[in-house]
Amino acid sequence: MRTIRPILLLVLAFCSFIAKGQHFELPIFFEDANGNKDTLILGYDITASKGMDAALGEKDILGTHYTKPFEVRASMYDYQNIREGDPRINESKKMMIESSCVEPTLYDEENSIMVLIKCDNWPIKISWDNTLFQDSCRAMSIVECRPGGWFDVCGGNNSFNVLEMKNKNMVSIVQTEYSIATQTDTLFALFFPLSRKIDVGVEKPSLHEIVSVYPNPASRSIIINQGEITDMTYQLIDMQGAVIKSLPIPYAHHNVIWDISDVDSGSYVLTMLQGGKVIGTQKQLVVRE
């Protein structure tokens, strides 16, 4: 009897671990620069399929019009068609994919959910409760990229921005690099893989890894050190998505003083572009003394 009891406890603990890793739902909140809001639920379940699972709360709304000024939907997609046409297989406000903690069923592009965003007022804010990732089974990332390659959502040496959602609870997106043009709308796309690690492609360094921008808050000037980086432009964008001020720095420079004495106090998004492409953003406060 003394031998059987520890074995039973181990079996119960293992079953509990497996059950814990079979289902995960994460509400994700989206808000555009005008304060319009929308919500998705993404996650995984051991019983989920690549189609619509009514038992898990999924309902296919592909083909219905985007009628709101700001709207987000989740989609499974045909990776083979992603570079040449409209890759959407379905759309839903809730999307669950097949996976488990012990042995994930799908990998690479197949375990990634594409999120489609109809938006005219950038930047947008995405937020979530990252305390839900305390269970080590649970993992999700936000990937911004132009897809391509063979077996991964951003392969073929395409650069990408990736954020592990367990490490933060909010991110600001100026605009996505990949979009889908429909007959009525342009839908901007982000990818949400369940991967615990993204290790393919060429990752874009964040704004803080490339340049030093300070102080924050700033009063009358911002100092920029971009080292040997060239072909850069810096923009201050207000919460309505309008570019308030722009500073091109085409050559390598240190300690560039950007005069912002004509900018009103408030919250802005400082956007960094290289060759016209956004490669980093940060929230920038301007406070008059």
Per the omega criterion (within 30 degrees of 0), is the bond before 217 cis?
A: yes
* 231 and 176 within one domain: no
pLDDT at 287: 92
Q: Are residues 87 and 120 in the same domain?
A: yes
Provide the pLDDT for residue 263. Answer: 94
* pLDDT value for 262: 94
Domain of residue 234, residue span: 207-286
Q: According to the model, what pLDDT value does residue 209 have?
A: 57
Q: Is 10 a domain residue? A: no
SS3 call for 148 = coil
- Overall pTM > 0.75: no
Of the residues 184, 203, 222, which one is the last residue of a structural domain? Answer: 203
Please indicate, yes or no, if residue 251 is contained in any of the structural domains.
yes
98 neighbors 44 (Cβ within 8 angstroms): yes
Report the chain (289 residues): mean pLDDT per 10 consecutive residues.
52 44 89 92 88 94 94 90 85 87 49 91 90 82 75 57 85 85 92 65 51 87 88 89 91 90 91 80 83
The phi and psi torsions of 133 (rounded to 5 degrees) equal: -95, 10
**3-state secondary structure (DSSP) of residue 105:** coil
What pLDDT shows up at residue 2?
53
Q: In terms of domains, do 243 and 163 share one?
A: no
Last residue of a domain, one of 171, 203, 235: 203
Query: Based on the domain organization, do 90 and 151 belong to the same domain?
Result: yes
- Say if residue 52 is in the same domain as residue 171: yes
Asked, for residue 62, whether it belongs to a domain, the answer is: yes
Evaluate whether residue 281 is within a structural domain. Answer: yes
Cα-based torsion angle of the residue sequence 185, 243, 267, 270 in order, rounded to the nearest 10 degrees: 100
Vertex 108: Cα angle to 105 and 111 (nearest 5)? 50
- Show the tokens assigned to 204: 């874009």
Residue 77 to residue 242: CA distance in whole angstroms: 32
Residue 133 confidence (pLDDT): 87
pLDDT of residue 149: 56
Which residue bears the tokens 């072909």? 231
End-to-end CA distance of the chain: 76
Q: Are residues 56 and 152 in the same domain?
A: yes
- Whether 213 and 256 share a structural domain: yes
Same domain, 43 and 71: yes
Residue 78, pLDDT score: 84
Residues 165 and 218 in one domain: no
Are 155 and 51 contained in the same domain? yes
Distances (CA, A) of 113 to 43, 71, 154: 9, 16, 13
> What is the model's pLDDT at position 151?
44
- Residue 197 and residue 216 share a domain: no
- Report the run of H or E that residue 112 belongs to, with start and end: strand 112-118
Evaluate whether 84 touches 102 at the Cβ level (below 8 Å). no
| Count of domains for the chain | 2
